[in-house]
Amino acid sequence: MKTVFSPLHSRRHVKTELDGGLLIEPHEKPSRAETILARVKDQALGEVLEPEEFGLEPVRRVHTADYVAFLETCWQDWQAAGKPGEAIPAVWAGRGMRHRLPKDIDGRLGYYSFAAETSISDGTWEAARASANVALTAQKLVAGGERAAFALCRPPGHHAHADLFGGYCFFNNAAIVAQAFRDQGYGRVAVLDVDFHHGNGTQAIFYQCSDVLTLSLHGDPDLVFPHFLGFEDETGEGDGEGYNLNIVYPPNTPYSVWSQGLETACERIAAFQPDALVLALGVDTFEDDPISFFKLTSSDYLTLGERLARLGLPTVFTMEGGYDVDAIGVNAVNVMQGFDRAA
């Protein structure tokens, strides 16, 4: 399987993540992508390509123009306002307040975000752009006839809504890929999210849509991030009713249990008969992940890859989470190797 990777991911190098009342070194750090790339090369998974430049048009098919423009100048606007540290949202329109875009940068940061752990500094825009180009290059490979491709995206994307950043995500790479397939004439596309966290952005972007089926397996949002979306009674609305599936799990869920939901999701995908699959791949389901609570082992990722291959679909993998950096390379590449083995 070919991998698409951009060294520009390292332009996102924030020093802070608000966690437990402290500004810690971010979990979503550059070594994550470098470790996965090293494993791809070490295992000779396949060719590694740099992304092409697709411009902002395919990004704006999923994200609003005003949100994209905000991200482009956010860091400059923050600095121009004389702020000494990294840009961190700290105020939101709570219940009863107005969802109106203010002029001030503090107000704008709150308007375009849903969480405060995701700081912005110089290079975040360039890295997020490169990450979307990585995803779109993988999509182009698959549209051109490759059975599958691995978009080694960083920053990740699945939490980003049409006009909201948060959860380490800015552009929703998986949604951008799904929309690109649709725009190129693929009639139905499925997006399966196996990251430990709910793919809230992907769900929201396609919630009223019957031609993109969204599915996510994740930790119960009653207990973990993103807290306010991802429950099992969210099934889609309007035309999209019946085209969103959430499967939630409690702490300490092992593969033997998790894989039952995977089976349910795969059966739903098969019934949908999509023309392509986008696999939002987080490996924060790993037993030693520092911020998550599932119990998958490294060999489980091989089994997962094999099961996904048996869907028999053209598949784009977009890298999402995974924060045990020592294991992230083995775990992510195991999915690809399991897939290649069974494809």
Is 201 an interacting residue with respect to Zn ion (CB under 5 A)? Answer: no
Rg over alpha carbons for the chain, rounded to the nearest Å, is: 19
Residue nearest to Zn ion (CB): 321
Instruction: Return the residues of window 249-308 that contact Zn ion according to CB under 5 A.
Output: 282, 284
Query: Looking at beta carbons only, is 143 or 164 nearer to Zn ion?
Result: 164
Which one of ligand OKP, Mg ion, Zn ion, none interacts with residue 193, CB within 5 to 8 A by kind? Mg ion
Q: Is the peptide bond before 226 cis (omega within 30 degrees of 0)?
A: yes
Q: Which of 63, 158, 159, 161 is catalytic?
A: 159
Please report, for residues 4, 11, 158, 233, 269, the alpha-carbon distance to residue 338 in angstroms, rounded to integers and kept in the order given.
18, 31, 23, 32, 19
Q: What does the chain come to in residues? A: 343
Question: Any catalytic annotation for residue 159?
Answer: yes
Instruction: Return the residues of window 195-224 that contact Mg ion according to CB under 5 A.
Output: 195, 216, 218
Is 324 an interacting residue with respect to Zn ion (CB under 5 A)? Answer: no
Q: Pairing state of beta strands 22-24 and 17-19?
A: antiparallel
Which one of ligand OKP, Mg ion, Zn ion, none interacts with residue 216, CB within 5 to 8 A by kind? Mg ion
Q: Which residues partner with 249 through β-bridges? A: 219
Q: How far is the CB of 161 from ligand OKP (least distance, A)?
A: 14
Instruction: Return the residues of window 181-200 that contact Zn ion according to CB under 5 A.
Output: 195-197
Which amino acid type is present at position 117?
A: E
Check: CB of residue 111 under 8 Å from CB of residue 131. Answer: no
Is 29 an interacting residue with respect to Mg ion (CB under 5 A)? Answer: no
Is 193 an interacting residue with respect to Mg ion (CB under 5 A)? Answer: yes
The distance from CA 37 to its chain's CA centroid, rounded to whole angstroms, is 18
Please report, for residues 3, 191, 256, 341, the alpha-carbon distance to residue 44 in angstroms, rounded to integers and kept in the order given.
11, 27, 30, 14
Is 159 an interacting residue with respect to Mg ion (CB under 5 A)? Answer: no
Is 236 an interacting residue with respect to Zn ion (CB under 5 A)? Answer: no
Q: Which stretch binds Zn ion (CB under 5 A): 26-34, 175-183, 185-193, 313-321?
A: 313-321
Would you tell me how many other CB atoms lie within 10 Å of the CB of residue 181? 25
Q: How far is the CB of 193 from Mg ion (least distance, A)?
A: 4
- The DSSP annotation for 198-222 comes to --HHHHHHTTT-SSEEEEEEEE-TT
Which amino acid type is present at position 154?
A: R
How many chain residues touch Zn ion (CB under 5 A)? 6
Residues that bind Mg ion (CB under 5 A): 193, 195, 216, 218
Residues that bind Zn ion (CB under 5 A): 195-197, 282, 284, 321
Residues serving a catalytic function are 159
